[in-house]
A and B are shown apart, each in its own frame.
Chain A
Amino acid sequence: MPHPIRAQKLRTLESTLPAGLPDPVDRLAAAVAVTDAELIRRTAGGESDAFAALVARYQKRAFWIAFHVVGRVEDARDITQEAFVRLYRSLDKYDYARSFYTWFYRIVMNLAIDHHRKHRHDPSASLEDFQGGLPDDSADDVQPIEAAEQHGQVWRVLERLDSKFRTVLVLRDIHGLSCREIAPILRITHATVRWRLHRGRQVFRDYWERLTMEDA
């Protein structure tokens, strides 16, 4: 199974690190030779820079996964922070034979799914959260205003999806994880991932077509 950092096609490791880190943390976080397991070992040994580097490596990815499930910046931020706190407290349970990101993403997803189930009918501020911050999305092949409208429609459809469909669509279609990577994160079988993707894409497509027909 390829490591997500090395497999990342569109972003380099450096670009996923937050700016302004202290030099030792930045170096440690960007050092491909230092594995996640090594950072955990060093954290357990009391090396605080190691945990800072682990946070730097994964905080953006964790935030975006949480955001695409819960749909609000502040909630995604709280979930990410809580996930790292839980991670820190359970470092002694880490199985060094298994991949770190599967374990950590599972913590993030559990928190995000739990939050989404409790708050899915709250009014979403997802698009407004990014008004003014949306890039000129030239690759999108549509004008910025039209793109923003389309993003709004997508959020409305995502809001209507059951958590079990939303989570697999987020992990596979937005974050590009393979079905084999998604299965242990959600603690479901590979066949169930395939099935939820199949149904999730059907349900998403049906809602989305209906919504765009209404708006046309």
Chain B
Amino acid sequence: MTSACQYCRGRLPSFVGEELSAAELNAVRAHLRDCLACRNEASSFLRARNALQATGAATASGPAEPFFAQMHADILASVAVEPAPAPAVGWPGSRWSVARWRGVRWAIAAAAVLALTVAVWPVRNGLLDRRAIPSAGIVVSPYAGPGAQPMQPLGFEGPGESRNQGMRGRAELHGIVDRDEPRSPVRAMPVGISGTHAAQAGILTGQRRAR
């Protein structure tokens, strides 16, 4: 697999989600035109995403209207016995509810206890115990031998995660963060799956698996 293939494969999940930047999209499209293996990989991602979206769209017209009408009535009935909560205290639009002020009071009390502990502890344990200071001639220094290596980020291997993902994958993604706007024109319970990027790259045609 060439480095161009690696670049392309690392972006295929975002490609099918239409979340790539224009520059990345052009690079991926150009590579897909020339590379059959990556094109097959892309259509595999598309088949999976199309199936997911089709299922979402199909179930969305499941329960009939009376189901929702009943649910509406049940929700209102379940709150009918309660008065509406009082507006928040403090200035309009603020989040300083009664519960929050209560939380702040606890935080202040906890901070006071902590401050007292910090003030008393060294007097009792450290500063008064002069024998703890090493005598002349003994040099104490933190170990930093010549073989010390800078720490490497650990790879993340959660359930179902393969090796070499995690931090490394995040680094790959780092370059494409912040680029999912403007939002996809195909949104919210898509019925007919278009796969704009894919269609433009010509990889949606004739990809349905023969059964």
- Which residues in A have some Cβ–Cβ distance to B below 8 Å? 2, 4, 7-11, 18-21, 43-46, 48, 51-52, 55-56, 59-60, 63-64, 67-68, 73, 77, 80-81, 84-85, 88-97, 126, 129-130, 133-135, 137, 139-142, 146-147, 150-151, 153-155, 158, 162, 169-170, 172-176, 178-180, 190-191, 194-195, 197-199, 201-205, 208-209, 212, 216
Residues from chain B with Cβ under 8 Å of A45 in the complex? 84
* Interface size range on B against A: 35 or more
Residues from chain B with Cβ under 8 Å of A178 in the complex? 180-181, 183
B76 at the interface (CB under 8 A from A): yes
Question: Whole-angstrom distance from the CB of B95 to the nearest CB of chain A?
Answer: 5
Whether B76 lies near A55 (C-beta < 8 A) is yes
Whether B51 lies near A154 (C-beta < 8 A) is yes
Question: Whole-angstrom distance from the CB of B186 to the nearest CB of chain A?
Answer: 8
- Which residues in B have some Cβ–Cβ distance to A below 8 Å? 13-14, 16-17, 19, 44-45, 47-49, 51-66, 68-69, 71-72, 74-76, 78-80, 82-88, 92-95, 97-100, 158-161, 165, 169-170, 173-174, 176-178, 180-181, 183-192, 208-209, 211
Q: Beyond A8-B188, A46-B84, A199-B161, is A20–B54 a contact (Cβ under 8 Å)?
A: no
CA gap between A41 and B49 in the complex, in Å: 40
Question: Whole-angstrom distance from the CB of B43 to the nearest CB of chain A?
Answer: 11
- For A87, give the chain B residue with the smallest CB separation: B79
Q: Beyond A176-B184, A194-B180, A203-B160, is A147–B58 a contact (Cβ under 8 Å)?
A: yes
Residues from chain B with Cβ under 8 Å of A10 in the complex? 187-191
Whether B188 lies near A175 (C-beta < 8 A) is yes
